[in-house]
Amino acid sequence: MPAGRPPKNKPEEISTAVETPEVVETQAEPEVLPPLTQTDLLTIIASMQKQLVASQSATAQLAAAIKDLATPKAPIKSRKQIADEENEKLFQDRQIALERTKKANDNYLHSICEHIAGSNKIGEGFKDLQGRTSYQWHRNDVGVEIGVCSICQDVLLPDNPRYMEWRRKPAFGKMSTAGQRTVMNFADALEKSVLRDS
């Protein structure tokens, strides 16, 4: 070695191997239960059956609750909503009764009207000396002639049994018309050209 220099030490080899302690597997000794008598076994079986029955009844109750939730329910209404619905039903019933009464009155007026010009029972008019009818005739745009009594507002349509009887008689007024139009389906146009009382 030359002088003045420190000696070189050889590096020591480092071992990378790790020593693991040996593990000795020991089996745990099974816990030894005391011997059961037949009564103990029957008690255990009975308690298991009770638990099974309880779980089945809980399952049935849960299924019934789910089924009950699935059924639609009426919405909860406030007192004001309930009162409004009752009022609406009351108004509808009154309207139906009013329309029924009006229809009965109209039918009565039609039955007592003579349909002769000037024969109004309310006014002081005199019957037409020539016996002309009070029906005002109107021809719509399809060509259907409709008669309307100027006294009782009775409407005569071509399908009415009294139509021809009154149509043949002379009328007090002149025929009015609504013009003419060309239609592709004449039967359908005839049906739709007249408003019918329901």
- What integer best gives the mean pLDDT of the chain? 79
pLDDT for the residue 198: 47
Regarding pTM above 0.85, the answer is no
Mean pLDDT value across residues 137-148 = 85
Dist. CA 110–CA 121, nearest whole Å: 12
Residue 95 has pLDDT above 90, yes or no: yes
Mean pLDDT value across residues 49-77 = 84
138 DSSP β-pair partners = 146, 176
Could you tell me which residue, 90 or 188, shows the higher pLDDT?
A: 90
Radius of gyration (C-alpha) of the chain in whole angstroms: 52
pLDDT for the residue 28: 66
Residue 11 has pLDDT above 60, yes or no: no
167 neighbors 136 (Cβ within 8 angstroms)? no
pLDDT digits (tens, 9 = 90+) for 12-46: 655 565 566 665 666 667 777 677 777 877 888 88
